[in-house]
Structure 1
Amino acid sequence: MKLLIAALMLSAALPALSAAADFPADRIIAMASGDWNKDGTPDLAVVATPGDDGGDDNGLYVYVAKPEENRLTLALSLPNTVWGNLTMYGQEPELAALGNGSFTLTTKNDSIGRERWRETLTIAYRNFDFIVAGYTYSAYDTIAEDGGENRTNDCDLNVLTGKGKRNGQAVADKAQFVLLKDWNNSIPRSVCGLDN
């Protein structure tokens, strides 16, 4: 039912989407609908292929509803920032709405090479902008024989509090308020020991 509502919302908003982010609807590879700014009206997040804008990575475009104008308006445009593609199974970016008004953006490699991984950002709307509230990473080595610590690696970090877990053990860093447009994966990777 949620997918149907999101599809109807998207079809009604296509003229606004196309004009605001300057891409046709057939470039959309993932979308999620939720109430990001908690005003009671559904909003929209979209991942779109790069098209002719010169980059190799997909873009993230976040829209908020303007109910008084009966349209969605582009609130955040991040072209060439989302890894993944549709041509290789297991590398498709994913978006999902959460019940609290946040949404997740997941990139992954579930298909190529021996190291398979999944990385998820939890994105929230605070102080009239989008921030990264959480970071989750998991990886496993498909051919490691020991089946132990060297085979898997995972980390779940609350960026806003700086607290989390890596491979079941508590980790902590300073609390941070990072705008999505300023996000850099080095922020959680050092805390999670993923750069070693």
Structure 2
Amino acid sequence: MDTKREVPSIQNIPIVNELKDVFPEDLPGLLPAREIEFAIELAPRTAPVSKAPYRLAPVDMKKFVTQLFGHYEFLVMSFGLTNALAASMDLMNRVFKKYLDKCVIVTSTIFWFTSRTKEEHVERLRIVLEALMREKLYAKFLKCEFWLREVQFLGHMVNSEEVLVDPANIKAVSNWERPTTPTELKLIKDYDGGILYHPGKANVVADALSRRDLR
């Protein structure tokens, strides 16, 4: 990891510096009301479940006291997190509905937009940021990248001129040493393939046999 990489400044990025309210350091307030609200309706005149309150075993209590601070891992995925990626993707699809398959691509973890020219990119960048601001959606600036000439997509590097295989995916093959011994050459030959052409009448006979069933 390159820890010396210069952190970009929001003031130095065109268009972004004009709509920097999309990238606040802290959320400006409570989340706005959404179109879909979730609630659990309780049946009237129902009694609580008759069950003794849960008590933590002394052994587990001792572990709990010593682990109040630290990093934790979900052993069982919380219900509130299971659909987080799908919900985020659905929201982005609704926000950028009229731009999908035109300039905006939405996946479960990221969304981006593409342009053919610099002028078109300026216009589309402004459209995207204004749409986020209009829906009161915010982004973390350090996790965003702008004005890229090359992007990584589905294991390939895509730019305006060509599509290349991501060098990271073929690094092991690229670093192979050239085989020199008979054993190494034989191993390469085992995975070799080719189309062999048989000269002479061998192909004529095969062609005649293939046409025999057509009569």
TM-score, normalisation: structure 1: 0.27
**Which has more strand, going by share of residues?**
1
Higher relative contact order (CA 8 A, sep 6+): 2
Structure of greater Rg: 2
**Which has more helix, going by share of residues?**
2
